[in-house]
Amino acid sequence: MKEIFAYRLKNARKIKGFSMQFLAERLGVSKQMINKYEHAKSMPDSPKLIKLSNILDVNPDYFFQASSVSLENVKFRKKSKYSKSKIGGIKAKILNKMENYLSIENILSVKSEFLNPVKSIKIKSFEDVEEVAIQLRKSWKIGNDPIHNIISLLESHEIKVVEIDESDQKLFDGLSTFINDKYPVIVINKSFEIERKRFTLFHELGHLLLNIDNNFTEKEEEKLCNRFSGAMLLPEEIIYKEIGKQRIKISINELINFQKQFGISISAQIYRLADLGIISEYRKQSFYIQRNKNSELKKTTDKERFAGNEFSERFDRLVYKALSQEIISISKASAFLNIDISSISKKMALI
């Protein structure tokens, strides 16, 4: 019991981003006592347990529920910028969300089995990534059409998407991992603009799906996943048809139309065109130099947005389904969704 409590307390503290000292001051105990709690050397009495629950925004029962979730091979983008405490906090948030996700699926007897349809294709060159994107689009029956909701697409193929609200967009892009070596999960920053969110989703999908040769460096693997993301968002067949196989110059209006239709940023398009050899590296660099110097050009490339929706809604739908069928209580739904009971009641207009 002490070990379970210790694990849960530490996770809840990390999710809130509290230091031991801060939690100790809020609880009215010493930092050493918090350390004892988190190392299973002591347990709080009932009044302090209730106070801990209020401080950490969890139900008292939370502290005594054994965890059935573990993370494997977490891939952080820009990981060199993460502090140890930041990594711990993000992992704790993921574990908590995935525990709830798997729990509601179990309650509803939802079976999820993930299959990688492109596992057999070995990535030995950057061009191989194009073939993987083509085959994946065929396997998932999406052809060359624009993908209007990537999160919905991923979740329909048993890939769980978790959004974390991190205000520092320069610090956290996204990550991908497997839960219990079985369930693929992609975590992204909820505060991103839509094109960046879409690019990150497919980048992280690349980490999950691509069978990359061991000769590639970690930096090259990131570039391969970027290439994969661009290929999924904007297929080469569409580019060749609409733009051609070689261009000396290209208009901003052409790129804006692609951004609005396919949900890929103009910056990512420029990289994509250079990757396919349609424009030169010099032309690519020239665009970024002009964009940084010309504020009007930057405003023009930033103001046109893809008119789509990229929010993870499946977990919420499962919770409300269980609640409407009276499989779970409204208090349980409140704990799952981390919102108050009155807010849930307003949304539960049963038909």
Q: Domain ranges in the chain?
A: 1-66, 122-303, 314-347
Does residue 60 carry a pLDDT above 50? yes
Residue (of 299, 270, 268, 298) closest to 282 by Cα position: 270
What mean pLDDT is reported for the chain? 87
Convert the pLDDT of each residue in 159-191 to its tens digit: 999 888 776 555 678 889 888 888 899 988 888
121-129 own/partner pairs: CB under 8 Å, 24+ apart: 121/211, 122/211, 122/213, 123/210, 123/211, 123/212, 123/213, 123/216, 123/224, 124/213, 124/215, 126/223, 126/224, 126/227, 126/275, 129/206, 129/210, 129/224, 129/227, 129/228, 129/231
pLDDT value of position 125: 95
Convert the pLDDT of each residue in 287-308 to its tens digit: 888 878 877 776 666 666 787 7
Q: How far apart are CA 159 and CA 153, in angstroms?
A: 9
Query: How many residues are present in the chain?
Result: 351
Residue 253 in tokens: 């209006």
Phi and psi of 27, rounded to 5°?
A: -85, -20
The answer to whether 301 touches 252, Cβ cutoff 8 Å, is yes
Q: How far apart are CA 271 and CA 118, in angstroms?
A: 24
Domain 122-303 has CATH 1.10.8.10: no
Q: How far apart are CA 14 and CA 128, in angstroms?
A: 41
Write down the pTM of the prediction. Answer: 0.82
CATH architecture of 1-66: Orthogonal Bundle (1.10)
Convert the pLDDT of each residue in 305-325 to its tens digit: 787 788 888 999 999 999 999
pLDDT bracket for residue 80 (50, 70, 90): very low
pLDDT value of position 170: 59
Convert the pLDDT of each residue in 19-33 to its tens digit: 999 999 999 999 999
